[in-house]
Structure 1
Amino acid sequence: MRFLKVIAQDRQGSGAADSIELRFHDSELDWREASAREVALLRSFSSTYLKCAWFNAADEDTRHLRMFALNPGSDGTPESVRLHFHEGETIAYKAAVHDLDNDGGFEVVLCSDVDNDGRTNRTDRSRVTTLVKQFLKLGWF
């Protein structure tokens, strides 16, 4: 399965993430770093992800996001994109968007408090939608 693994770290010890690593996986073991073209597309993605406050201290990588698209209709366009926020191998929480009529719009956005501010609201849905749109622009599905 192809997925994007995102790891943010607080290398300065300031209490906020100051670095982000993007790994494109073709399987659990094989990965590559983002190309220059992908990095350009992911600048907005990275900025949005850092607002989620899902990061590690120093050089740790336990907390990370795994993002992947599902295409059960096998028509080349994803009907669902899933976001799994991991704490090690355990999924701490999830989010997903679904394109029910395959028109490129998201009819369903399911998420919890992805920005860790204590509330699940429109801001969380907006952040998930932005992350998914940027992810889909890469064609990594």
Structure 2
Amino acid sequence: MRFLKVIAQDRSGSGAGDSVRLRFHDSEQDWREANAREVAQLRSFSSTYLKCAWFNTGDEDVRYLRIFALDPGSDGTPESVRLHFHEGDAIAYKAAVHDLDNDGGFEVVLCSDVDNDGHANRTDCNRVTALVKQFIRLGWF
């Protein structure tokens, strides 16, 4: 299964993520890394991800996002995109979007407090939707 692993870090010690690493996985063992500053599309995705406030201090990589799409119809348009926010090997929380009628729009957005502000609200759904749209544009599914 293909997935994108996103690792944000606070290298400056400012209390906010300032660095993002993206690992494009073809499997658990086979991956390539991209620097988020290389391409405008990756920069936009990284900027949106940093708003989720799911980052590590210094050079740690314990916290990360694993995002992947499910395309059971094999038509090149995902019916579901899942976001797993990890703390080590454990999933701390999840989010997902579903395109129920396979028209490219998301009829269902499921999320919790993905920006870690203490409230699960419309802002969280908007962040998840934005991340998913940018992920789909990358074509990594």
TM-score under structure 1 normalisation?
A: 0.95
Amino acid at match of 2:114: V
Aligned to 1:136: 136
Amino acid at match of 2:14: S
Aligned to 1:58: 58
How far apart are the structure 1 equivalents of 2:90 and 2:34?
25
How far apart are the structure 1 equivalents of 2:39 and 2:14?
25
Aligned to 1:74: 74
Structure 2 SS opposite 1:34: strand
Report Cα offsets for 1:66-116 as digits up to 9, x if no partner: 000001112221100000000001000000000000000000000000000
Structure 2 SS opposite 1:83: strand
Aligned to 1:118: 118
Q: How many residues end up aligned between the 2 structures?
A: 141
How far apart are the structure 1 equivalents of 2:58 and 2:30?
24
TM-score under structure 2 normalisation?
A: 0.95
How far apart are the structure 2 equivalents of 1:39 and 1:121?
31
Question: Displacement, 1:39?
Answer: 2.9
Amino acid at match of 2:117: D
List gaps (5 residues or longer) in structure 2.
Answer: none
Identity in percent: 84
Amino acid at match of 2:120: T
How far apart are the structure 1 equivalents of 2:35 and 2:91?
27
Question: Displacement, 1:65?
Answer: 0.1
Tell me how large the CA RMSD over aligned residues is: 1.6
Structure 1 range deviating more: 42-51 or 92-101:
42-51
Amino acid at match of 1:107: E
Q: Which runs of 4+ in 1 moved over 6 A?
A: none
Report Cα offsets for 1:29-54 as digits up to 9, x if no partner: 11112389x83212111111101110
Aligned to 1:99: 99
Structure 1 range deviating more: 100-109 or 67-76:
67-76
Aligned to 1:7: 7
